[in-house]
Amino acid sequence: MLLENKVAVIYGAGGPIGGAVARAFAREGATVCLAGRTKAKLDKVAGEIRSNGGLTDTAVVDVLDERAVDAYVDAVVEQAGHIDISFNLISYGDVQEPLTEISVEDFLQPITNAMRTQFLTTRAAARHMVKRGSGVILAFGGNGPQTLPGLGGFKVALDAIEGLRRQWACELGRHGIRVVTLKTGGITETLPDPFPGRDEIIAGIQQAALLNWTATLADVGNVAAFVASDQARTMTATEVNISCGAMMD
């Protein structure tokens, strides 16, 4: 197994992507600590993991709350002994509207949420990882020149996460801590049904891919497990592109 004896904290684990990552990490032997806002959603993912023999724990944590994040990670380390992987997969409360129509508050919301939570979760983990000289910080989204009209501050937030990822990688590399983003072209299974424009969005994701398929939630979990593992020990300060060619590097 790729992640035996590793302890992973996954924020937003009640969401589709966080849940998929949690299942994959548990399958690969990690103890997965599931954090999020709604207890019932976390319990559902934890129940599935336990029924497959995995090790997991859940906690309701507001990831925007500095003290709550610090206290949670300290408690994980006190109980499990260490933290090896931190992956923030919370939603950013983005409002997707054209820039000429969106309010400044709605525009800034995903940017400030993404920056605040990515900073807080990484800092809380890094303070412990530095002492052990190892660890992996993961992010999800990815940057680049490609974008679409009407996204409000969402794509700007993803680009900002990449700026922060570079800064963390630069400061944490000498402590043996890797920082990597999974770059996506969109995961069609995460779109609720019904959802306004769902079919058009799915068709757009499929058409943009160079391959005849697009990434599934299972693909996200598989790649994340590899990148989080020691098999990927050479990878830091980079994106891993899982867009099936849609996001050309």
Instruction: State residue 237 phi and psi, 5-degree precision.
Output: 55, 40
C-alpha distances out from residue 89 to 57, 63, 105, Å = 17, 10, 22
Taking the least distance from each CB to ligand NAP, the nearer of 3 and 69 is 69
Binding span for ligand NAP by CB under 6 A among 24-32, 57-65, 101-109, 226-234:
57-65
Can you say whether residue 187 is alpha, beta or left, with left for phi > 0 and alpha for psi between -120 and 50 degrees? beta
C-alpha distances out from residue 137 to 50, 123, 173, Å = 25, 10, 11
Side chain identity, residue 234? T
**Least CB distance from residue 208 to ligand NAP, whole Å?**
12
Binding span for ligand NAP by CB under 6 A among 56-64, 73-81, 98-106, 231-239:
56-64
Q: Is 92 one of the binding residues for ligand NAP (CB under 6 A)?
A: yes
- The answer to whether residues 185 and 216 touch, using CB atoms and an 8 Å cutoff, is no
Kindly tell me which residue out of 44, 48, 55, 62 binds ligand NAP, with binding defined by CB under 6 A.
62
Taking the least distance from each CB to ligand NAP, the nearer of 141 and 221 is 141
Taking the least distance from each CB to ligand NAP, the nearer of 66 and 132 is 66
Q: Which residue is nearest to ligand NAP (CB)?
A: 15
170 to 209: interface string for ligand NAP, x by CB under 6 A: --------------x-xx--x-------------------
**Least CB distance from residue 122 to ligand NAP, whole Å?**
15
- Residue 137's SS3 state is strand
Taking the least distance from each CB to ligand NAP, the nearer of 16 and 29 is 16
Side chain identity, residue 100? T
Can you say whether residue 193 is alpha, beta or left, with left for phi > 0 and alpha for psi between -120 and 50 degrees? beta
Binding span for ligand NAP by CB under 6 A among 10-18, 126-134, 168-176, 230-238:
10-18
- The answer to whether residues 48 and 24 touch, using CB atoms and an 8 Å cutoff, is no
∠ CA 191-192-197, rounded to 5°: 70
- Residue 196's SS3 state is coil
- Residue 240's SS3 state is strand
Kindly tell me which residue out of 54, 135, 141, 221 binds ligand NAP, with binding defined by CB under 6 A.
141
Kindly tell me which residue out of 87, 107, 140, 168 binds ligand NAP, with binding defined by CB under 6 A.
140
Q: Is 15 one of the binding residues for ligand NAP (CB under 6 A)?
A: yes
Size of the site for ligand NAP (CB under 6 A): 24
Residues that bind ligand NAP (CB under 6 A): 12, 14-18, 36-38, 41, 61-64, 89-92, 140-141, 184, 186-187, 190
